[in-house]
Amino acid sequence: MVHVASEMERQGFTIPLLIGGATTSRAHTALRIAPAYSGPVVHVQDASRAVGVTRALLDPAQREGFVAGVRAEYEEIRRERGERRGADVRLSLADARANRLRVDWTGVVPPRPSFLGVRTFRAYPLTELVERIDWGPFFAAWELRGSYPSILDDPSVGAAARDLHRDALALLDQLVAGGRLRADAVVGFWPANAVGDDIVAWRDPGRTEALATFRTLRQQMAKRDARPNLALADFVAPRETGVEDFVGAFAVTTGHGLEEIVADFEAAHDDYAAILAKALADRLAEAFAERLHERVRRELWGYAPGEALSNADLLAERYQGIRPAPGYPACPDHSEKETLFALLEAEERAGIRLTESWAMLPGASVSGYYFWHPQSAYFGVGRIGRDQLEDYARRAGIPVAEAVRILRPNLADDALA
């Protein structure tokens, strides 16, 4: 979004830029997007409020005062956030690396996956995925807030939630029974070791030739209580230990056939069912990722063969190992999907491709890494400094300007100086 705003500025645009969607916020708009564009920039909480904002921007009598009010509000947000950040302490990259997670690899024999390389799962049974659906995000997508299943009895939104859930279950039955929606996936495992903050996947078991390199980012915020500054590379045995470790990866989709299903609903003027089908496909994709991860832990990698967790335990992530995804807090660089997809042969094997901005198509898709170590945990990288930005650009072999574009949401103010 910042890149789009910057391009609008470079090309001399003056039209208003409205920012909205589930991943946006007023603070992010004020701090990151508005400074990149001299035209009006307005965060809109949801689509229904866009009407009033647009009306104010189009009305000559309202526009000037409305835009001035928004700019003053955003300037106040920047001032308050600047004061808070002034109190933050950020370590140098060297000091953050010195405070890395210390894993004792002495005598550790990492579990060996049941296969090395890539395995394809085509037309995976949707019936296996239904019970793994996390309904909380489904209701949130419809602006119904609350945890499932208690939301169904909520005094304010319970009636609407029950109606929506009933319709969703009915359509879900149709999608599962109809055979038009298909789930495909690819899973891979490779010999691997950490080399600094990189994770190298080896072409051969002898670990003499690199097949691919995943670049990870390290937290730089100063921490209390001797907590480490994490990077995903900490969860893989360093090469110098001589430990023969492994890394896994996956890509799943439940979006094949969805476009045709949605088109049929829209042709019948049933936009509600079309939107519902998209939302259910998204939930099934997340459920597919959950189910495959369960199988990885118990059989495909097999490092937790006796695991017996309830669906609630799975949703609460009470399992060994993690499956972080490029673009998420622990590994915010979306461009790493290029390496991931090439290694998995995701397009050829599962029909999932990347757009030029690294979005996945079909949209109901999920991809990420597998780490087995008991100390691996989800975390957020947070803001990084100029030193790590330049180091990351060097490791990735890209210009610093390109690294700025890729990592901008995670860059501290001094990194942009």
User: Could you tell me which of 216, 234, 249, 227 has the C-alpha nearest to residue 410?
Assistant: 216
pTM across the whole model: 0.85
Mean pLDDT score, 281-310: 96
Select the more confidently predicted residue: 150 or 316. Answer: 150
Percent of the chain residues topping a pLDDT of 70: 97
User: Could you tell me which of 354, 166, 347, 175 has the C-alpha nearest to residue 258?
Assistant: 175
The pLDDT of residue 272 is 95
User: Could you tell me which of 303, 306, 297, 259 has the C-alpha nearest to residue 281?
Assistant: 259
Mean pLDDT score, 31-55: 87
Question: Which pLDDT band, with edges at 50, 70 and 90, does 81 fall under?
Answer: confident
The pLDDT of residue 87 is 54
Percent of the chain residues topping a pLDDT of 90: 78
Dist CA 292 CA 251 (whole Å) = 10
The answer to whether the beta carbons of residues 41 and 69 sit under 8 Å apart is: no
Torsion, CA 10, CA 13, CA 18, CA 19, rounded to 10: -10
For residue range 218-250, what is the model confidence (pLDDT) as tens digits? Answer: 999 999 888 999 999 999 999 999 999 999 999
Q: Which residues contact 58 (CB under 8 A, 6 or more apart)?
A: none
The pLDDT of residue 28 is 86
The answer to whether the beta carbons of residues 130 and 175 sit under 8 Å apart is: no
Question: CATH fold of 2-86, please?
Answer: Rossmann fold (3.40.50)
Three-state DSSP at 78 gives helix
Residue with tokens 């807090």: 329
Question: Which pLDDT band, with edges at 50, 70 and 90, does 49 fall under?
Answer: confident
Residue with tokens 């190992």: 321
The pLDDT of residue 84 is 62
Q: Which residues contact 32 (CB under 8 A, 6 or more apart)?
A: 1, 2, 408, 409
Question: Which pLDDT band, with edges at 50, 70 and 90, does 302 fall under?
Answer: very high
The pLDDT of residue 409 is 85
Dist CA 37 CA 127 (whole Å) = 48
Dist CA 261 CA 246 (whole Å) = 40
Burial readout 149-167 (b: 16 or more C-beta within 10 A, e: otherwise): eebbebeebeeebeebbee
For residue range 126-139, what is the model confidence (pLDDT) as tens digits? Answer: 999 999 999 999 99
On the CB side of 160, CA atoms within 13 Å amount to 10
The 3-class SS string of 3-47 reads: HHHHHHHHCCCCCCEEECCCCCCHHHHHHHHHHHCCCCEEECCCH
For residue range 341-398, what is the model confidence (pLDDT) as tens digits? Answer: 999 999 999 999 999 999 999 999 999 999 999 999 999 999 999 999 999 999 999 9
Which of 28-37, 185-194, 404-413 is modeled with the greatest confidence?
Answer: 185-194
How far from 282 is each of 35, 46, 109, 286, CA to CA, in Å?
Answer: 33, 20, 37, 7
The pLDDT of residue 51 is 87
Select the more confidently predicted residue: 141 or 121. Answer: 121
Q: How many CB atoms lie within 10 A of CB 134?
A: 14
Dist CA 326 CA 303 (whole Å) = 23
The pLDDT of residue 243 is 97
The pLDDT of residue 186 is 98
For residue range 16-31, what is the model confidence (pLDDT) as tens digits? Answer: 999 987 668 888 899 8
Tokens of 16: 């208003």
Q: Which amino acid is at 385?
A: G
Q: Which amino acid is at 135?
A: W
Dist CA 192 CA 114 (whole Å) = 15
Q: Which residues pair with 257 in a beta bridge?
A: none
Inform me whether the pLDDT recorded for 86 exceeds 60.
no
The pLDDT of residue 85 is 59
For residue range 178-200, what is the model confidence (pLDDT) as tens digits? Answer: 999 999 999 999 999 999 999 99
The pLDDT of residue 141 is 85
Domain segments of the chain as ranges: 2-86
Q: In whole numbers, what is the pLDDT of the chain averaged over residues? A: 93
Select the more confidently predicted residue: 356 or 141. Answer: 356
